[in-house]
Amino acid sequence: MNRKIAPSLLSADFGKLREDIEMINASEADWFHIDVMDGVFVPNITFGFPVINYIKKYAKKPLDVHLMIIDPDRYIEKFKDSGADILTVHYEACIHLHRTIHKIRESGMTAGAVLNPHSPVLLLEDILSDLDLVLLMSVNPGFAAQKFIANTYEKIRKLNQLRTDRNTKLLIEVDGGIDLANAQKLFEAGANVLVAGNSIFSSADPVKMISDLKNSGR
Ligand code: DX5
Ligand code: ZN
């Protein structure tokens, strides 16, 4: 499967957001990763619809919207209207995850479930065939630039095995603390999409960093 890189705009410079969007358009990046936090599910607040509408206006690649909000069902249609192409919701935030995932698919978006570092991949075993994507958090959600949690490799391997057993086309995405020190190993463990914020936006040459992450070990 092709490798994908999804730069997280949480680490962009919001004073020149348009420039950072154009940088990603011109790079080898595949998706725009957009972190929406509500200050309840996670101890931080980011941005909402006006900012996502603006990103959609200029982004030439799909918007991968990661919801870190409680009861996300309330806003599925609004995220669709704002231009989300991929919508991911946390297992830990959804009481009726199966219903939520189907609502996302029915609205025409790619549907993904997210697992916090403490949640085992087996929790998704019975809805695996309903999912287009699983996002494994490799940090506790809420902030950029945190330290990568090494147990993630094992979770990717387990999920990869489940995917092979079920013969599904599920994408495995990983988010948090990703840089050149772990990207190759993550792809080799079975990840298809890597999210990276700090490592890209703190780099002197973000376009090159995106390319290096995508091609690491090749
Ligand atoms: C964390 C967010 C991540 C974060 C990644 O809650 O979901 O997407 O922005 O940033 P880095 O790559 O800096 O860990
Ligand atoms: Zn994220």
Domains observed in the chain: 4-213 (3.20.20.70)
Alpha helices in 73-151 (DSSP H): 76-82, 97-106
Q: Is 95 exposed, middle or buried (0-12, 13-18, 19+ CB in 10 A)?
A: exposed
What pLDDT is attached to residue 167? 82
In terms of DSSP bridges, do strands 32-37 and 133-137 run parallel, antiparallel, or are they unpaired?
Answer: unpaired
Q: What is the mean pLDDT of the chain?
A: 97
Ligand 2 centre distance from Cα of residue 23 (Å): 19
Helix (H) or strand (E) holding 67: strand 63-68
DSSP letter at 100? H
Q: Is 80 exceeded by the pLDDT of residue 1?
A: no
Interacting residues of 88 by C-beta distance below 8 A, sequence separation 6+: 64, 65, 66, 67, 111, 112, 113, 114, 133, 135, 173
Which of the ligands is closest to the CA of residue 141? Answer: 1
In this prediction, residue 94 has a pLDDT band, given cuts at 50, 70 and 90, of very high
Residues taking part in catalysis: 35, 175
Per-residue pLDDT reduced to its tens digit, 33-81: 999 999 999 999 999 999 999 999 999 999 999 999 999 999 999 999 9
Contact 11 CB / ligand 1 (< 6 Å): yes
Q: Is 90 exceeded by the pLDDT of residue 98?
A: yes
Strand partners, 64: 33, 86
Contact 139 CB / ligand 1 (< 6 Å): yes
What pLDDT is attached to residue 124? 97
**Between residues 2 and 1, which one has the greater pLDDT?**
2
- What phi and psi values does residue 40 have, to the nearest 5 degrees? -120, -55
Ligand 1 centre distance from Cα of residue 77 (Å): 24
Looking at residues 150-163, what average pLDDT do you find?
98
The pocket of ion ligand 2, defined by CB under 5 A, consists of 35, 66, 175
What pLDDT is attached to residue 141? 98
Contact 177 CB / ligand 1 (< 6 Å): yes
Hey, what are 45's tokens?
């607040």
Three-state DSSP class for 110? strand
Measured distance CA(180)–CA(217) in Å, rounded: 9
In this prediction, residue 101 has a pLDDT band, given cuts at 50, 70 and 90, of very high
Contact 142 CB / ligand 1 (< 6 Å): yes
Contact 146 CB / ligand 1 (< 6 Å): yes
Q: Which of 44, 34, 41 is nearest to 74 (CA)?
A: 41
Task: Work out the widest C-alpha separation in the chain, in whole angstroms.
Answer: 47
Ligand 1 centre distance from Cα of residue 166 (Å): 29
Q: Is 80 exceeded by the pLDDT of residue 89?
A: yes
What pLDDT is attached to residue 160? 98
Per-residue pLDDT reduced to its tens digit, 159-210: 999 999 998 899 999 999 999 999 999 999 999 999 999 999 999 999 999 9
- Sign of the CA dihedral with 32 first, then 37, 42, and 44 last: positive
Ligand 2 centre distance from Cα of residue 133 (Å): 14
What pLDDT is attached to residue 77? 98
Which of the ligands is closest to the CA of residue 64? Answer: 2
The pLDDT > 70 percentage for the chain reads: 100
